[in-house]
């Protein structure tokens, strides 16, 4: 007898399952189609992104080659490279956009267009999609080119934000802060920073020697 009841219960379960499938077949089919479309869309987006990256890479390499051109055609090639980098800075994916801005800023400096270079470094420094290390480097370049002409308070604030312990640009920022102190006549503060650089085991030998030479000049 228990076997008969078990068979009846299994038949009832199977019947209920068929009923549910019949009742909700449209919903299940829609969900399956959405899943297929979602996967296809994701794959298509990845394909499109890969094509965008490849195109940006080719344009970036072409601009780098133009920027490296020397000789009589060098100036014209640099202008062409600058135009290519600026175009990439507007349209390329985030990584290449950042690199293009940095390269364009360097070319603007060589051409004597400092305000344009400062604006490009500012764009990188303020870009939340840019790599944090490159954002810091852009801010360092901006401050480095403003030591003689920029607002001392603003320059110092940006350098102090980079001179934090463990930061990748700490030593260079400390060096610039010492130079800024010297140019502002704050010899005691400059001496303290330079002494720290001379004693810092993590500072490259060339930086320690330069700091020692500046320190000797301040002491003298």
Asked which of 27-36, 67-76, 146-155, 190-199 is least confident by mean pLDDT, the reply is: 27-36
Is residue 21 exposed (0-12), middle (13-18) or buried (19+ Cβ within 10 Å)?
A: exposed
Q: What is the pLDDT of residue 67?
A: 80
Confidence of residue 1 (pLDDT cuts 50, 70, 90): very low
The encoded tokens of residue 81 equal 């490279």
Bigger pLDDT: 198 vs 27: 198
Q: What is the pLDDT of residue 106?
A: 93
Taking residues 155-180, report their average pLDDT.
Answer: 95
Q: Give the mean pLDDT of the chain.
A: 82
How does DSSP assign 81-149, residue by residue?
HHHHHHHHHHHS-HHHHHHHHHHHHHHHHHTT-HHHHHHHHHHHHT-TTS-HHHHHHHHHHHHHTTTTT
Taking residues 23-33, report their average pLDDT.
Answer: 58
- Are 198 and 208 contacting, i.e. CB atoms less than 8 angstroms apart? yes
The encoded tokens of residue 168 equal 């990748």
Percent of residues, the chain, with pLDDT higher than 90: 52
Dihedral of CA 202/205/206/208: which sign?
A: positive
| Residue reference for tokens 């110092």 | 156
Is the model's pLDDT at 37 over the cut of 80?
A: no
Asked which of 13-27, 56-70, 79-93, 186-200 is least confident by mean pLDDT, the reply is: 13-27
Q: What is the pLDDT of residue 197?
A: 95
Q: Is residue 42 within a helix (H) or strand (E), and if so which, with residue range?
A: helix 2-67
By C-alpha distance, which of 98, 81, 79 is closest to 89?
98
Taking residues 196-204, report their average pLDDT.
Answer: 94
Q: What is the pLDDT of residue 46?
A: 58
pLDDT digits (tens, 9 = 90+) for 41-82: 545 545 445 666 677 778 888 888 888 876 676 788 888 989
């Amino acid at each position: 007898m228990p076997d008969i009841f078990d068979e009846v219960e299994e038949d009832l379960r199977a019947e209920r399952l068929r009923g549910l499938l019949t009742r909700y077949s449209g919903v299940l089919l829609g969900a399956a189609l959405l899943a297929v479309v979602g996967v296809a869309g994701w794959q298509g987006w990845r394909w499109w992104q890969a094509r965008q990256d490849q195109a940006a890479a080719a344009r970036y390499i072409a601009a780098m080659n133009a920027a490296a051109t020397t000789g009589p055609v060098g100036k014209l090639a640099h202008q062409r490279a600058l135009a290519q980098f600026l175009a990439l800075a507007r349209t390329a994916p985030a990584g290449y956009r950042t690199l293009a801005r940095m390269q364009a800023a360097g070319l603007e400096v060589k051409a004597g267009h400092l305000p344009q270079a400062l604006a490009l470094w500012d764009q990188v420094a303020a870009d939340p999609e840019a790599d944090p290390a490159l954002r810091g480097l852009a801010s360092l370049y901006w401050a480095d080119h403003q030591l003689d002409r920029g607002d001392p308070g603003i320059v110092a604030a940006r350098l102090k934000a980079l001179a934090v312990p463990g930061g990748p640009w700490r030593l260079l920022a400390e060096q610039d802060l010492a130079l800024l102190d010297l140019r502002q006549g704050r010899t005691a503060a400059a001496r303290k920073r330079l002494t720290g650089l001379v004693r810092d085991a993590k500072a490259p030998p060339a930086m320690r020697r330069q700091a020692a030479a500046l320190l000797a000049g301040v002491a003298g």
